[in-house]
Chain A
């Protein structure tokens, strides 16, 4: 094994071009587990800890460019207003020790269907900034996940940042697990209201081979909200609409039975989380400030 320690982003890209099999390591919270358990013996480890750019973020007019290695702790502390969904998701990641090291770039690189950030990114709307010596491209988040632990990156590409749409309305995130810390999601759900475009977006985690949006559910809800004039009159959402939305979210799942839960439990739980997060965010939207209000995990 070789340990590559590029001092700059350019050096990192050059190293990845020269050694496409090199495994990038930043927080190490996924990679080191695999190495410790002898599940993986990469030929090259590409250490990204020295590259300061990856730990920075820029808040733009419409989106936040979040460096790939910005730890979850920083997201929770600094980006709660701009990225409420991702901040809530970040708070559910493992433990303080892990949140101090891990970041969204690693979640995307690993591309586990259970990654905590994915539902929040799908719901908010995001693009992955992938770069290689050949150039930079922005991969829409919907096209990024290609299979179980597979993503759209080319072998010579590294994740530089994620561009996440700033919240234009309330966002929520919900996760099912056996306790509040140190759990891999049994399933998870992210929901974002986008009053500017009068749309709702969703993200489902751990209930399909990849993180997915419940597109049919979104379309149904967008139409129902539009038809009923809900965005303007701010009425509470009709229970039948919420139920139909929840059922369609359940139907968007394609889960498996595993040690953490059965497929049918996951489908059921996703429906419950869909209804709850819709209620929480809509109540927040109906409030005067129209901004997300922090809610507990119980409703």
Chain B
């Protein structure tokens, strides 16, 4: 079957999709977007987390046919998504958006990727930069899912408590078990977000 949907702001068409195929498979194998990771395939690990019409979901548990006509944001589109959110640009997807960040004409965030190879020359989302700066990437496998989940939390909860962060990330497993640095990274992103406003 054919599936038409929007990925990271671009209309996409996937052909010859098997009816039992997951959104994750379509993203990785048909769209060339391997950022969303394939690990448990049962919603246990959260490494395949994407935004579906703004809502964080495990893409391994969404049937490809269910995304027809809908909007998906993957980790590859996270920097754009975060930038548009801060700009309050018209191109922003309005679903599930919080106004808190665009209020008060907050300035556009400019990344300063000076201390890492990864971010060199590329604009990163604030949460991505915070993960690098806090050393929260570690082996990196769980990172994309954590970034999507953490970014969504900071969107509607700019001043999270540690309990809020733990709950928001409770569906994302890190087998390096370096959760403390991940917590640091989210706290850092929240603090920077607060300074920017």
Contacts and interface: CB of A to CB of B under 8 A. Distances in A.
Contact of B62 (A5, A32, A37, A181): A32
Contact of B57 (A2, A3, A45, A100): A100
Contact of A98 (B20, B68, B171, B173): B171
B42 A96 contact: no
B57 A101 contact: yes
Given A32-B60, A36-B60, 18 more contacts: A3-B19, A28-B63, A32-B61, A37-B41, A45-B20, A45-B65, A47-B66, A94-B171, A95-B170, A95-B171, A96-B149, A96-B171, A97-B56, A97-B58, A98-B43, A98-B61, A100-B57, A181-B171
B195 to A, nearest CB: 27
A180 interface: yes
A94 B41 CA distance: 14
Given A45-B20, A182-B44, A97 B63 contact: no
Interface residues of A, number: 28
A255 interface: no
A190 interface: no
Nearest to B65: A3
B49 interface: yes
B143 interface: no
Contacts of A1: 18-20
Interface in A4-48: 5, 25, 27-29, 31-33, 35-37, 41, 45, 47
B33 interface: no
A180 B57 CA distance: 19
Given A1-B19, A32-B22, A97 B43 contact: yes
Contact of A3 (B43, B46, B63, B172): B63
A47 B65 contact: yes
B19 A2 contact: yes
A180 B61 contact: no
Contacts of B43: 29, 32-33, 94-95, 97-98
B171 A45 contact: no
Nearest to A179: B170
Contacts of A25: 63, 66
Contacts of B57: 97, 100-101
Contact of A37 (B42, B55, B170): B42
A33 B46 contact: no
Most buried by A among B20, B22, B41, B44: B20
Nearest to B152: A96
A-B pairs, top 7 by smallest CB distance, nearest first, are A95-B171, A181-B170, A1-B19, A3-B19, A36-B41, A3-B65, A32-B61
9 contacts: A28-B62, A29-B43, A31-B63, A33-B41, A37-B41, A47-B63, A95-B170, A96-B56, A96-B168
A44 B67 CA distance: 17
B1 interface: yes
B167 interface: yes
Contacts of B58: 29, 97-98, 101
Nearest to B67: A49
Nearest to B20: A35
A45 B63 contact: yes
B144 to A, nearest CB: 13
A221 to B, nearest CB: 34
Contacts of B149: 96-97
Interface in B170-184: 170-173
Interface in B50-92: 55-58, 60-63, 65-66, 68
Contacts of B68: 5
B14 to A, nearest CB: 13
A49 B66 contact: yes
Nearest to B96: A100
Contact of A45 (B19, B56, B170, B172): B19
A180 B20 contact: no
Contact of A5 (B61, B65, B167, B168): B65
A106 to B, nearest CB: 11
B61 A101 contact: yes
Interface string A37-65: 10001000101010000000000000000
